[in-house]
Each structure stands twice: as C-alpha cells, then as structure tokens.
Structure 1
C-alpha cells in the first residue's frame, strides 16, 4: 500500500499466443531460466508495464517482441481477462492476459538469461511444472471468464498444484463460467 493507505500493485501483461494444432488450439509457453523467479517452470511470455507512460497493450507488444521476437500489431491484441493475484508471500498484482492470433515472425528465445525453452502446447495438455498464477490465467481464459481472482495463501507452492488451486472465476453479467 502507499503511504495514504491506497493499494499500489504492479501491472503485468501476459501473451496468450494461440494457433491451431493437431490436437486443437495451442498456446506458446516459455520455460523460465537462470536466477529469475520460478526458474525451471513454464509460463506465458510476460512482463511489467513500464511506469505511467505505457499502457497495457503497448507493454504487451513490447514484451512480446523482446521475449519472443514476434511482431504484433496492437490492433490484433484481444482483451481477454484480468487476474487479481496474490503470491504466497503476500504481494498482490494485477495481470492482464491478452489473446493474439496473428503476428509476424517465428517464436525464438530472445532473452536466454531468462528463458531456456519455448514451445507450443495444446491447451488440453499444459506442461508441468507451471507457475500457478499463469495456469490460473490460462484456465480462466479457457472458461470464458473476464475477471479472475487468484489469491494464494502463505505456504502455497509457486508451481501449479491442483490441491492448492486458488482460482475463483467471476463471470460476465448474464454468463456462467464453464
């Protein structure tokens, strides 16, 4: 919280790059490497919004190019969902997950100090271990939710664990989440 008692949370953006595959829709994921948070775990390409001068779509386009080499037109970015997340350590953040189905280029590892693998996975067969926050976002995306809460408890694992699934879906008015 800020000094005046208001919440101040980091804003981050997550790419849900989707393509058609042999087993249905596939999503592009990268495996975190080195000394970064959650090294060895799978996560969607993502990053932080830089200060007050950058909006979330601009941040997504920038982070996508920096991490994957893919060039995305801002007009091809689909607003998918927002996840209000709290990590096991108690820090909260707001994550904006965006669907992209059109881009220029071929995915490649552009930050080898932060990522050691990048692959397409069917949504029905996501890899493990995966960062729980990212898995929550992908599960919410697949359900059709527009807003999701993912408040982890102290001691919860960073990696997705069905026994510690803290995802709560908030459906759009007049809809139910599946």
Structure 2
C-alpha cells in the first residue's frame, strides 16, 4: 500500500492500494502500466486475477465509481517510490492488521476479498 501526502488531492494522509484510471486501455493493461509507473513493478498479464469489484461513491454528490481489485500472483522488482510528490512510502500490510488510515472503500474491498465475496457497494445515499 502507499501512504499519500497530507496535501494529496485524493485521500490526503491515508493509505491505499496501487490504483489508477484507465487511459483508452483495458483494465489489466491499466494495472500493468500503473504498477510500472507508480511503483516500478513488472507484472505479466497471465499473473493477474480479478478478486473484487466495489461500486462506491466517495462523498455525497460525487459520481459513482467502479473499483476493480486485482491480485497479482507474481511480479518482479521491489516497489519503489516513483511519485514522491504524491506519496511518502510503499509498505506491505497483513490483511488481518490493516492501518487505521486506510481509504474506506479499500478497507471494505479487502474484507470482502478475504471472505471470498466478489462484489460490494459502499457509501450510497439511503
């Protein structure tokens, strides 16, 4: 997971998994590109599996988003801080002992992944 700077535009002072937005590419190609750009990791397409989808709204009035969570069964290289203007460090966490300052929908997704659930919804207005 990565720790964002206090002045980050997205989720300041929180932890989040490696993530990004697709740029005219499919989701797995996006994951592979973002892993390289953000952390210097090399992931092969055949080592990726979809493990969860979360449909979430960050705050009231925001556009809904679909978060696709993939598991990389293998990768090469150690994570390195490639965006020091946005992030402070990469760190591995035990899924059973996550940091308190984790992005909320990410916490939900990790809990659902651990229980084998493929889909969840978070923060929808009542």
Q: Tell me how large the CA RMSD over aligned residues is.
A: 1.5
Distance 1:153-1:41 versus aligned 2 partners, 3 A rule: farther
Matched residue, 1:42:
15
Q: Would you identify which runs of 4 or more consecutive aligned residues in structure 1 move more than 6 Å?
A: none
**Distance 1:61-1:147 versus aligned 2 partners, 3 A rule:** same
Cα deviation for residue 89 of structure 1 reads 2.8
**What is the aligned length?**
124
From 103, 122, 128, the counterpart of 2:94: 122
Note the alpha carbon deviations across 1:73-132, whole angstroms, 9 max, x for none: 011001111111112233210010000120010111111111101111111110121110
Give the aligned partner of residue 41 of structure 2: 70
Q: How many angstroms does 1:153 deviate by?
A: 4.6
Residue 96 of structure 1 is matched in structure 2 by 68
Question: Does structure 2 retain, via aligned residues, the 8 Å contact 1:68–1:108?
Answer: yes
Higher normalized strand content (fraction of residues): 1
> Cα distance, 1:39 vs. partner?
1.3
Candidates 101, 115, 118, aligned match of 1:143: 115
1:66 to 1:146, Cα distance in 2 relative to 1, 3 A: same
SS at match of 1:121: coil
What's the TM-score once normalised by structure 2's chain length? 0.91
Which one is further off, 69-78 or 133-142? 133-142
C-alpha distance in 2, partners of 1:90/1:80? 28
In 1, distance between residues paired with 2:86 and 2:46? 28
**1:36 Cα deviation after fit:** 2.3
Secondary structure of 1:98's counterpart equals strand
Distance (whole Å) between structure 2 residues aligned to residue 82 and residue 107 of structure 1? 24
CA distance in 2: counterparts of 1:153 and 1:134, whole angstroms: 18
SS at match of 2:91: strand
Residue of structure 2 in register with 1:79 after alignment = 50
Q: Bigger radius of gyration, 1 or 2?
A: 1
Kindly state the Cα deviation for residue 146 of structure 1 after the two structures are TM-superposed: 0.9
